[in-house]
């Protein structure tokens, strides 16, 4: 990340008049209890706390600024880690690998959390959060602890932002190939999506848009050794029986006019689509984490740690998935089925052209292997289960952004475990016709591995 003019805005906010400042910043986020608040959908009032407050601020910014999926995951990781690191440096409950050091004695850790979160989020979202900071600080009575906490939180937030300078997340890095990944030249090569992919009602993608964020996989990870650490070994041989089976499965199951996809599977495809103008898949799982962890009786610092790990592993899931996507450069089903089938030279008669085939949900504008959805879902479910202490949590939920798919209004889905939820989320992309089966299975394995490693090694409790 590079420092920007927003640092000037944030630093000079106290000296600016409210009227002048309000003309150059985004509207205030919705408060808890308002229908536009994501936390309102899943958190009971008695469980409202500082962590959920700032997480909700970030979720709303993703929606209101229409932040794209990989960038949303990055922003969650930056802000949530900064908040935890500031509070933990005062409480001294966990070790951390980022060199923050010990906070000032007597500082309020919740104030520090909020100010560090807001400082990092201001850089991530290019929004100074002036009103949000003022409203948050007004909740705490004047005291030395408050003053120390605010000063320290801002310092830690700046430290985390500085730590991520030149981490590969700059637009000049993520928006271009820069010869870091080589394009395929064989039959499996990915090409941009055609102009016929949109949904009425629902989201759409630009016609023949260039690949989204080909440099995302090169961003410096938070918890992984590298973006390629959990890269799978290979994709199908296009002439193999396994590819023929996968081709036929997605063709039959994921087409807009499928006769084998059930009504429940169609609902699942829409329920987990999550974009591109809502909270995004990483944000959906952050909402699930708030819903589940509010009942675990975690202390403030335990909850802050949990959401730091969730944010950081969602960011790392995006890095892992995007590294795989552009390393392997695999064609999406819609291109394979509509125009590419003869090039695979597969003897199975099921691999045949179907020029009229369309995916049930919009096909994204980037390569297929592996599935970002499956990586996000597996990482989130595994991390939440590790924090909660068990996977077999029975729960239900509604779409956080039903406005994208009016068919989901009033729809509630139920799961018998966190892993059940993750599996359903990943399979939604096959029901929607935008992924191959191996995209899902390889991504689930990687997402779980990311979460397990992060939980075990990143913020261990102090002995």
pLDDT tens figures, 311-351: 999 999 999 999 999 999 999 999 999 999 999 999 999 99
Question: What pLDDT shows up at residue 23?
Answer: 40
* pLDDT over threshold 50, residue 129: yes
The residue assigned the tokens 């209890």 is 33
Question: What pLDDT shows up at residue 217?
Answer: 98
Residue 387: what are its φ and ψ, rounded to 5°? Answer: -70, -45
User: Phi-psi category of 179—alpha, beta or left, where left has phi over 0 and alpha has psi -120 to 50?
Assistant: left
* pLDDT over threshold 90, residue 406: no
Question: What pLDDT shows up at residue 6?
Answer: 40
Write the CA distances from 106 to 83, 98, 110, 111, integer angstroms: 17, 22, 12, 12
Q: How far is it, in rounded angstroms, from Cα 3 to Cα 160? A: 12
Q: How far is it, in rounded angstroms, from Cα 243 to Cα 329? A: 16
185-218 residue pLDDT tens = 999 999 886 654 444 555 555 555 679 999 999 9
Of 269, 212, 280, the closest CA to residue 429 belongs to 269
Question: What pLDDT shows up at residue 206?
Answer: 56
Question: What pLDDT shows up at residue 192?
Answer: 80
**Token duo for residue 182:** 């080589």
DSSP lists the bridge partners of residue 94 as 461
pLDDT-derived band of residue 48, with 50, 70 and 90 as boundaries?
A: very high
Distance of CA 463 to the CA centre of its chain: 32
Q: How far is it, in rounded angstroms, from Cα 317 to Cα 312? A: 9
pLDDT-derived band of residue 21, with 50, 70 and 90 as boundaries?
A: very low
Question: What pLDDT shows up at residue 1?
Answer: 52
pLDDT-derived band of residue 387, with 50, 70 and 90 as boundaries?
A: very high
pLDDT-derived band of residue 404, with 50, 70 and 90 as boundaries?
A: confident
Of 116, 105, 109, the closest CA to residue 88 belongs to 109
Question: What pLDDT shows up at residue 14?
Answer: 38
**Rounded to two decimals, what is the model's pTM?**
0.92
3-state secondary structure the chain: CCCCHHHHHHHHHHHCCHHHHHCCCCCCCCCCCCCCCHHHHHCCHHHCCHHHHHHHHHHHHHHHCCCCHHHHHHHHHHHHHHHHHHHHHHHCCECCCCCCCCCCCCCCHHHHHHHHHHHHHHHHHCCCCHHHHHHHHCCCCCCHHHHHHHHHHHHHHHHHHHHCCCCCCCHHHHCCCCCCCCCCCCCCECCCCCCCCECCCCCECCCCCCCCCCCHHHCCCCCCCCCCCCCCCCCCCCCCHHHHHHHHHHHHHHECCCCCCCHHHHHHHHHCCCCCCCCHHHHHHHHHHHHHHCCCCCCHHHHHHHHHHHHHHHHHHHHHHHHHHHHHCECCHHHHHHHHHHHHCCCCCCCCCCCCCCECCCCCCCCCCCCHHHHHHHHHHHHHHHHHCCCCCCEEECCCCHHHCHHHCCCCEEECCHHHHHHHHHHHHHHCCCCCHHHHHHHHHHHHHHHHHHHHHCCCECC
Question: What pLDDT shows up at residue 198?
Answer: 47
Lowest mean pLDDT among 26-30, 144-148, 221-225, 233-237: 26-30
Q: How far apart are the first and last CA of the chain?
A: 34
* pLDDT over threshold 60, residue 27: no
Question: What pLDDT shows up at residue 210?
Answer: 79
């Amino acid at each position: 990340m590079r420092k920007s003019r927003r640092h000037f805005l944030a630093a000079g906010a106290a000296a600016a008049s409210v009227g002048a400042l309000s003309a150059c910043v985004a509207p205030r986020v919705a408060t808890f209890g308002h229908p536009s608040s994501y936390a309102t959908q899943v958190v009971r009032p008695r469980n409202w706390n500082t962590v959920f407050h700032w997480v909700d601020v970030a979720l709303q910014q993703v929606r209101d600024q229409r932040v794209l999926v990989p960038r949303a995951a990055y922003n969650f990781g930056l802000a949530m880690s900064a908040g935890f690191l500031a509070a933990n440096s005062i409480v001294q409950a966990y070790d951390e690998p980022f060199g923050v050091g010990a906070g000032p004695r007597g500082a309020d850790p919740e104030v520090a959390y909020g100010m560090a979160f807001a400082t990092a989020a201001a850089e991530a979202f290019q929004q100074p959060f002036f009103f949000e900071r003022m409203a948050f600080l007004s909740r705490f009575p004047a005291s030395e602890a408050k003053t120390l906490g605010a000063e320290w939180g801002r310092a830690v937030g700046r430290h985390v932002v500085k730590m991520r300078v030149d981490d590969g997340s700059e637009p000049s890095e993520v928006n271009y190939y820069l010869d870091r990944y080589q394009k395929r030249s064989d039959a499996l090569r990915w090409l941009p999506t055609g102009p016929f992919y949109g949904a009425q009602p629902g989201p759409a993608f630009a016609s023949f848009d260039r690949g989204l964020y080909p440099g995302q996989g090169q961003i410096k990870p938070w918890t992984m050794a590298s973006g390629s650490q959990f890269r799978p070994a290979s994709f199908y041989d296009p002439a193999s029986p396994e590819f023929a089976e996968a081709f036929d499965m997605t063709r039959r199951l994921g087409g807009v006019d499928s006769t084998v996809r059930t009504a429940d599977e169609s609902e699942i495809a829409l329920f987990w689509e999550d974009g591109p103008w809502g909270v995004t898949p990483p944000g959906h799982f952050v909402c699930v984490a708030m819903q589940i962890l509010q009942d675990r009786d975690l202390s403030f610092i335990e909850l802050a740690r949990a959401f730091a790990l969730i944010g950081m592993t969602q960011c790392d899931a995006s890095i892992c998935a995007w590294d795989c996507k552009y390393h392997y450069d695999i064609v999406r089903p819609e291109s394979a089925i509509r125009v590419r089938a003869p090039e695979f030279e597969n003897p199975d008669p099921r691999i045949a052209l179907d020029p009229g085939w369309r995916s049930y949900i919009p096909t994204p504008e980037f390569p297929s292997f592996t599935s970002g959805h499956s990586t996000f879902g597996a990482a989130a479910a595994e991390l939440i289960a590790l924090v909660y202490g068990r996977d077999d949590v029975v729960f239900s939920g509604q779409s956080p952004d039903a406005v994208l798919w009016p068919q989901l209004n009033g729809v509630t889905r139920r799961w018998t475990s966190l892993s059940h939820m993750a599996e359903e989320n990943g399979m939604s992309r096959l029901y929607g016709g935008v992924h191959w089966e191996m995209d899902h299975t390889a991504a689930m394995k990687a997402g779980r591995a990311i979460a397990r490693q992060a939980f075990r090694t990143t913020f261990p409790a102090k002995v």
